[in-house]
Amino acid sequence: MTTARDIMTPDPEGIRESHTLREAAVLMRDLDVGALPILADDGDLVGVITDRDIVVGCVADGGDPESVLVADLADREPVTVDADDDVREALNAMQQHQVRRIPVLEAGRLVGIISQADIALSLSPTETGETVEEISEE
Protein backbone atom coordinates (compact mmCIF):
# COMPACT_ATOMS: atom_id res chain seq x y z
CA MET A 1 0.00 0.00 0.00
CA THR A 2 1.29 3.44 -0.92
CA THR A 3 0.67 5.91 1.88
CA ALA A 4 0.33 9.68 1.93
CA ARG A 5 3.76 9.79 3.58
CA ASP A 6 5.27 7.99 0.57
CA ILE A 7 4.25 10.68 -1.93
CA MET A 8 4.02 13.88 0.13
CA THR A 9 6.41 16.77 0.06
CA PRO A 10 7.76 16.68 3.61
CA ASP A 11 8.08 19.61 6.00
CA PRO A 12 6.25 22.23 3.96
CA GLU A 13 6.88 25.84 4.84
CA GLY A 14 3.84 27.43 6.47
CA ILE A 15 2.80 30.93 7.40
CA ARG A 16 1.37 32.14 10.70
CA GLU A 17 -2.17 33.43 10.62
CA SER A 18 -0.94 36.70 12.15
CA HIS A 19 1.09 37.56 9.03
CA THR A 20 -0.20 39.82 6.27
CA LEU A 21 -1.25 38.69 2.81
CA ARG A 22 1.73 40.57 1.40
CA GLU A 23 4.06 38.50 3.58
CA ALA A 24 2.30 35.36 2.34
CA ALA A 25 2.70 36.46 -1.27
CA VAL A 26 6.40 37.20 -0.78
CA LEU A 27 6.94 33.79 0.84
CA MET A 28 5.08 32.07 -2.01
CA ARG A 29 7.28 33.89 -4.51
CA ASP A 30 10.47 33.06 -2.66
CA LEU A 31 9.53 29.38 -2.31
CA ASP A 32 8.06 29.20 -5.83
CA VAL A 33 4.78 27.74 -4.54
CA GLY A 34 1.15 28.63 -5.06
CA ALA A 35 -0.14 27.65 -1.63
CA LEU A 36 0.95 27.74 1.99
CA PRO A 37 -0.39 25.96 5.05
CA ILE A 38 -1.70 28.47 7.60
CA LEU A 39 -0.48 27.81 11.12
CA ALA A 40 -1.79 29.12 14.45
CA ASP A 41 0.75 30.50 16.90
CA ASP A 42 0.82 27.08 18.61
CA GLY A 43 1.71 25.43 15.27
CA ASP A 44 -1.70 23.86 14.65
CA LEU A 45 -2.89 23.84 11.06
CA VAL A 46 -5.83 26.20 10.58
CA GLY A 47 -6.09 26.32 6.80
CA VAL A 48 -4.36 26.70 3.48
CA ILE A 49 -3.98 29.95 1.56
CA THR A 50 -3.37 30.11 -2.17
CA ASP A 51 -2.16 32.83 -4.47
CA ARG A 52 -5.66 32.84 -5.94
CA ASP A 53 -7.17 33.41 -2.47
CA ILE A 54 -5.02 36.52 -2.11
CA VAL A 55 -6.04 37.90 -5.50
CA VAL A 56 -9.73 37.03 -5.38
CA GLY A 57 -10.28 37.44 -1.64
CA CYS A 58 -8.40 40.69 -1.19
CA VAL A 59 -6.90 42.43 -4.21
CA ALA A 60 -9.95 42.10 -6.48
CA ASP A 61 -12.14 43.63 -3.77
CA GLY A 62 -9.80 46.59 -3.32
CA GLY A 63 -8.33 45.23 -0.09
CA ASP A 64 -4.87 46.12 1.14
CA PRO A 65 -2.56 43.07 1.26
CA GLU A 66 -0.29 45.09 3.57
CA SER A 67 -2.95 45.18 6.28
CA VAL A 68 -5.22 42.16 5.66
CA LEU A 69 -4.09 39.20 7.71
CA VAL A 70 -3.75 35.62 6.54
CA ALA A 71 -6.24 34.72 9.31
CA ASP A 72 -8.88 36.76 7.51
CA LEU A 73 -8.85 34.28 4.61
CA ALA A 74 -8.32 31.05 6.59
CA ASP A 75 -11.19 28.61 6.10
CA ARG A 76 -10.76 27.10 9.61
CA GLU A 77 -11.71 23.60 8.40
CA PRO A 78 -8.87 22.44 6.15
CA VAL A 79 -9.24 19.13 4.33
CA THR A 80 -6.42 16.86 5.52
CA VAL A 81 -5.21 13.27 5.46
CA ASP A 82 -3.13 11.29 7.91
CA ALA A 83 0.44 10.40 6.93
CA ASP A 84 -0.37 6.69 7.16
CA ASP A 85 -3.57 6.88 5.08
CA ASP A 86 -3.60 5.08 1.76
CA VAL A 87 -2.84 7.48 -1.09
CA ARG A 88 -6.33 6.73 -2.45
CA GLU A 89 -7.83 8.41 0.63
CA ALA A 90 -5.90 11.57 -0.25
CA LEU A 91 -7.09 11.24 -3.84
CA ASN A 92 -10.71 10.80 -2.76
CA ALA A 93 -10.52 13.79 -0.40
CA MET A 94 -9.02 15.98 -3.13
CA GLN A 95 -11.74 14.93 -5.57
CA GLN A 96 -14.59 15.29 -3.09
CA HIS A 97 -13.53 18.74 -1.92
CA GLN A 98 -12.08 19.84 -5.28
CA VAL A 99 -8.76 20.92 -3.80
CA ARG A 100 -5.43 20.71 -5.60
CA ARG A 101 -3.31 20.37 -2.47
CA ILE A 102 -3.94 18.59 0.78
CA PRO A 103 -2.01 18.87 4.06
CA VAL A 104 -0.72 15.67 5.62
CA LEU A 105 -0.88 15.31 9.41
CA GLU A 106 0.76 12.98 11.89
CA ALA A 107 -0.52 13.02 15.47
CA GLY A 108 -2.37 16.21 14.54
CA ARG A 109 0.76 18.06 13.38
CA LEU A 110 1.59 19.14 9.83
CA VAL A 111 4.28 16.89 8.35
CA GLY A 112 3.74 17.26 4.61
CA ILE A 113 1.58 18.34 1.72
CA ILE A 114 0.33 16.44 -1.32
CA SER A 115 -0.26 18.24 -4.61
CA GLN A 116 -1.83 17.15 -7.88
CA ALA A 117 1.70 16.62 -9.20
CA ASP A 118 2.48 14.21 -6.36
CA ILE A 119 -0.68 12.27 -7.17
CA ALA A 120 0.20 12.23 -10.87
CA LEU A 121 3.59 10.70 -10.14
CA SER A 122 2.08 7.91 -8.04
CA LEU A 123 -0.92 6.87 -10.18
CA SER A 124 -1.39 5.43 -13.62
CA PRO A 125 -1.93 7.90 -16.47
CA THR A 126 -5.64 6.98 -16.62
CA GLU A 127 -6.15 7.54 -12.89
CA THR A 128 -4.19 10.79 -13.05
CA GLY A 129 -6.39 12.10 -15.87
CA GLU A 130 -9.55 11.17 -14.00
CA THR A 131 -8.25 12.78 -10.81
CA VAL A 132 -7.35 16.07 -12.48
CA GLU A 133 -10.71 16.14 -14.24
CA GLU A 134 -12.67 15.54 -11.03
CA ILE A 135 -10.64 18.04 -8.99
CA SER A 136 -11.08 20.68 -11.67
CA GLU A 137 -14.87 20.33 -11.98
CA GLU A 138 -16.77 23.45 -11.02
Closest CA to 114 of 132, 137, 91: 91
CB atoms within 10 A of CB 63: 15
**What tens digit of pLDDT does each residue of 52-87 get?**
999 999 999 999 999 999 999 887 789 999 999 999
**What tens digit of pLDDT does each residue of 8-31 get?**
999 999 999 999 999 999 999 999
Q: Which domains does the chain have, with CATH numbers?
A: 4-135 (3.10.580.10)
Residues 49 and 16: their CA atoms lie apart, in Å, by: 11
**How far apart, in Å, are the Cα atoms of 44 and each of 17, 20, 114, 121, 138?**
10, 18, 18, 29, 30
Whether pTM exceeds 0.75:
yes
Residues 38 and 41: their CA atoms lie apart, in Å, by: 10
